[in-house]
Amino acid sequence: MAQLVKPHNIRIALISRSEAKFSETFISEQIKRLPGKVFHYFGNSGNLSIAGYGALFSRTKLAVLAVIYKIIGLSIHDAKMRFLVRSLHRNKIDVALVHFGNTAATLLDAFRKSKTPFIVIFHGYDASRKDILKEHDLDYKLIFREAASIIAVSKTMCQSLIDLGCSQQKIHHIACPASDKFLGISPNYQNKRALSIGRFVDKKAPYHTILAFSEALRSHPEAILTYYGDGPLHNMAKNLVRYLRLEANIKLPGRITPAEYLIECSQARLYIQHSIVAENGDSEGTPVAIQEASAAALPVVSTLHAGIPDVVIHGETGLLSEEHDVSTMASHISQILDDMQLTERLGSAGRNNIKNNHSMQSHIEKTSDLLLLAARSRLLNN
């Protein structure tokens, strides 16, 4: 009976907070490359839609059902879960793959009622932020017990989840990788251009990146850093650049499209990211942007933080410093700007490391194996 679920006929509910973003290219790749048929459910707080099919419920239907549920002592959340259970059954879902632990926490009732096995991918903040861990303390314990598998995107996160009570046997380390498109880029190392991209939030510490680059400019006044992204610290970062009078050297243009970012990688010499543990506990998983840079053969200058050392080998594919160590990061930036041979060696080794050890194909194969195992175990247990 277990052989009834084969790769070509498995039906997967892939659940994420929103339709695939540029910063989450691996979700688009999962939708395209996982076996069988993938239904992409997306939305927050149970307000889910299915890509290509529309919302699970209209506001009118939800309002009517909410009134009925209130009369019998149930909540609007129960009403939303009823729609999800019905959808999982209607689409004959064999297994669900849920991005982010706190998303899985809100949907746990639906998985139970529909008897749908599920796998949860923890990404970063969902396994580290103090408020999230406090809010979902009981939910996470239930997830650890009831999920078919737990995927952690870094080795550090594996240990964090064990510390939170997850069985080591249930955890699988599978990083979310870069798109294969970055492997085809040929960087222009002649340009003294540094590149960075990401949300301007505490764990990215954009001010440290700016300060480190400003120190490196003392010996390389012609160098330019272009730092793409937005977020709550974006205006602070612009003010810091203005205070340092470095508007000609440090550009903060905001968001960028995927096509534009690929072009930017081809015009850069190195990639910089100064990640730290934020005061609220928020940490990275294994940043996809860093893997994209390595795949594009850009030397990476970053920090010994979370999953970054999993994919950047210090002295071989990039240069890593301790969190908050701005001076050492500045020295690392200068070393790469000084030395073309070092640039080429780190960049080439970085690309080979991603291609051989952290490829999208490897990610898809490992994730597919877990999904098939969960779907087949469901049949055995029924």
The CATH number linked to 122 is: 3.40.50.2000
Residue 213 within a domain: yes
Residue 153 and residue 231 in one domain:
no
- Whether the per-residue pLDDT at 288 is higher than 70: the answer is yes
Q: Is residue 22 part of a domain?
A: yes
Q: How far apart are CA 349 and CA 295, in angstroms?
A: 10
User: What is the DSSP secondary structure assignment for residue 314, as one 8-state letter?
Assistant: B
Of 6 and 352, more confident? 352
Q: Are residues 187 and 160 in the same domain?
A: no
Residues 119 and 237 in one domain: no
pLDDT at position 5 is 65
Asked if 247 and 214 sit in the same domain, the reply is yes
Task: Give yes or no for residue 380 having a pLDDT over 70.
Answer: no
Alpha-carbon distance of 56 to 154, in angstroms, equals 33
Question: Is residue 104 within 8 Å of residue 45, measured between CB atoms?
Answer: no
Cα torsion 226, 228, 230, 234 to 10°: value is -10
- Which range marks the domain in which residue 25 is found? 2-177+359-377
User: Within a domain: residue 108?
Assistant: yes
Mean pLDDT, rounded, for 340-347:
98
Helix 206-216, helix 234-244: angle, nearest 10: 20
pLDDT at 129 over 50: yes
Strand ranges of the sheet holding 224-228, from the earlier edge strand across to the other edge:
250-254, 224-228, 193-197, 270-272, 300-303, 318-321
The verdict on residue 214 lying in a domain is yes
Nearest to 96 by CA among 77, 122, 76, 115: 115
Answer yes or no: is 54 within a domain. yes
Q: What angle do CA 320, 336, 305 make, to 5 degrees?
A: 15
At residue 278, the 3 state secondary structure works out as coil
Least trusted range by pLDDT, from 21-30, 197-206, 365-374:
21-30
Per-residue confidence band for 1, with pLDDT thresholds at 50, 70 and 90: very low
For residues 366 and 292, state if they share a domain. no
Kindly state whether residues 309 and 323 are assigned to the same domain: yes
Q: Are residues 9 and 132 both part of a single domain? A: yes
Position 2 pLDDT exceeds 70: no
Confidence band, pLDDT 50/70/90 cuts, at residue 382: low
pLDDT at site 75 = 75
CA distance 150 to 101: 9
Q: Which helix (H) or strand (E) holds 197?
A: strand 193-197
Q: What is the pLDDT of residue 121?
A: 98
Establish if 382 belongs to a structural domain. no
State the average pLDDT over residues 228-232.
97
- Whether 153 maps to a domain, the answer reads yes
**Number of domains making up the chain:** 2
In this predicted structure, the answer to whether residue 203 has a pLDDT above a threshold of 60 is: yes
**Percent residues over pLDDT 70 in the chain:** 95
Asked if 235 and 173 sit in the same domain, the reply is no
Here the tokens at position 368 are 């597919």
Question: Residue 55: in which H helix or E strand, if any?
Answer: strand 54-55
Task: Tell me: do 128 and 206 sit in the same domain.
Answer: no
Residue 282: its pLDDT value, please? 97
4: confidence class by pLDDT, cuts 50, 70, 90: low
Q: Is the model more confident about 226 or about 82?
A: 226
> Is 248 in the same domain as 343?
yes
Average pLDDT over residues 251-278: 95
The DSSP secondary-structure symbol of 20 reads: P
- Verify that 46 and 141 share a domain, yes or no: yes
Let me know if residue 127 belongs to a domain: yes
Residue labelled with tokens 């930017």: 264
Q: Express each pLDDT in 292-338 by its tens digit.
A: 999 999 999 999 999 999 999 999 999 999 999 999 999 999 999 99
The tens digit of pLDDT for each residue in 159-184 reads 999 999 999 999 999 999 999 999 99
Summarize pLDDT for 49-69 with one digit per residue, the tens.
999 888 887 777 777 777 777
What pLDDT shows up at residue 251? 98
Average pLDDT over the chain, rounded to an integer: 93
pLDDT of 21: 56
Who has greater pLDDT, 205 or 57?
A: 205
Same-domain status, 169 and 276:
no
Candidates 271, 137, 287, 282; CA nearest to 213 is 271
Q: What is the pLDDT of residue 60?
A: 78
Least confident of 22-31, 110-119, 128-137, 175-184: 22-31
Q: Given pLDDT bands bounded at 50, 70 and 90, which one contains residue 289?
A: very high
